[in-house]
C-alpha cells in the first residue's frame, strides 16, 4: 500500500480516538456539574429558616422567663 493510505488510516484512527476521549471527558464533567448543582440546591434548602421561625419573628416575646429557681435569659 502507498504511504498516503497509511497516513490517512493513522489520521482517521487518531481523530476517532480523539472524539471518543472527548465524549468521555464531557460525560465525566457533565456528571460532576450535575452533582455540584444538586449540592447547591440542597444547601439552599437546608440553610432556609424554618417556617415556624419566620412566624415567630413577627411576634414579640419576653426577654426573660420566670421559673421557680431564677430568671433565665432567652437566647435568640
pTM: 0.51
The residues with which 65 forms a beta bridge, in sequence order, are: 72
Average pLDDT, the chain: 80
Domains identified in the chain, total number? 1
3-state secondary structure of 63: coil
32-71: burial string, b at 16+ Cβ within 10 Å, e else: eeeeeeeeeeeeeeeeeeeeeeeeeeeeeeeeeeeeeeee
Domain around 39: 3-56
Classify residue 37: in a domain, yes or no: yes
Is position 51 within any domain?
A: yes
pLDDT above 70 covers a percentage of the chain that reads 61
Q: Is 61 a member of any domain?
A: no
Amino acid at each position: 500500500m502507498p504511504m498516503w493510505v497509511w497516513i490517512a488510516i493513522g489520521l482517521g484512527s487518531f481523530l476517532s480516538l480523539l472524539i471518543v476521549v472527548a465524549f468521555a471527558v464531557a460525560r465525566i464533567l457533565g456528571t460532576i456539574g450535575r452533582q455540584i448543582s444538586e449540592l447547591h440546591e440542597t444547601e439552599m434548602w437546608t440553610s432556609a429558616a424554618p417556617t415556624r421561625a419566620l412566624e415567630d419573628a413577627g411576634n414579640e416575646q419576653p426577654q426573660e422567663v420566670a421559673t421557680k429557681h431564677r430568671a433565665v435569659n432567652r437566647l435568640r
